[in-house]
Amino acid sequence: MKRAPPHQTYGMNKANEKFLILMAAQRLIRTDNGEEINKSQARLMDNKGLERMKNDKNLSIERRLVLMLPFSNVSKVVDRVYLGGLAALTVEIFLLHSIKLVINATHDLPLLKESDVESYRVPVNDEITGDLLMYFDDVSDMIHEFLQKNPTDSAIVHCMAGVCRSATLIMAYLIKYHKMTTRDSFKLIKTIRPFVRPNIAFVGQLMAFEEKLNDYCTTKITKIYFDNSLVRMPNFYETDHPDLYKLEIRKQTGS
């Protein structure tokens, strides 16, 4: 990603005052657990720049992985709402889909800065201690309002790989504005992007959000014992997503 001129100003000046939590997050310098937030700015790269990044010998294995398939794919979740990772931030993709709103769900990637694109950061770590719930309303409302005001443009939510944080934020949007349950939003997004796997804490936060909006939640986190270990599990994983069911057991039991 190319660095942006430091004097430019972007979407925060256009934002409605009602997005108070999201606006406050733009001024943070550290995450809740003390990690420094990357305050640098970057321009969109083109496909040649993406290839150069992939071939950079100094690139970490983790960063190289998210630039490869399937993580490099850009996924259309619903009309004009896209989900992706670092590899989605290219000129070609933004032109193809007329993307004009970006939600960066990382604390460490540079914030995209283009004169015709609104860009905001949700600086949350991809850990079970991360709190995305506090941003669900603002991000959902911002996407909805943007799409209403800009009928030919699109929004993208991205994190590093388009697997956890960004997927969770889009599910919150689906719950609020497409009237889905946590379970239904999960099923839709897993159908579109099969390798999505929000951590167990984020799934619990989605359930809390559903309950807040509707005064009830159709799903819950249950406690089960596996090999004498207590495991917390969404009650729809075993039937709907056996891959995630097995993964959670391995993660929580250390097996």
Q: CA 92 to CA 110: how far, in whole Å? A: 19
Q: CA 255 to CA 132: how far, in whole Å? A: 28
Buried b (16+ CB within 10 A) or exposed e, 197-231: bbbbbbbbbbbebbeebeeebebeeeeeeeeeeeb
Q: Is 217 known to be catalytic?
A: no
Q: CA 140 to CA 37: how far, in whole Å? A: 22
In 3D space, the residue among 128, 124, 123 whose CA is nearest the CA of residue 200 turns out to be: 128
The label of the residue with tokens 């939590």 reads 21
| Three-point CA angle 45, 102, 137, nearest 5° | 160
Beta bridge partners, 157, equal 83, 103
Candidate list 1, 159, 200, 231, residue with the active-site label: 159
Q: CA 234 to CA 184: how far, in whole Å? A: 13
Residue positions annotated with a catalytic role: 159
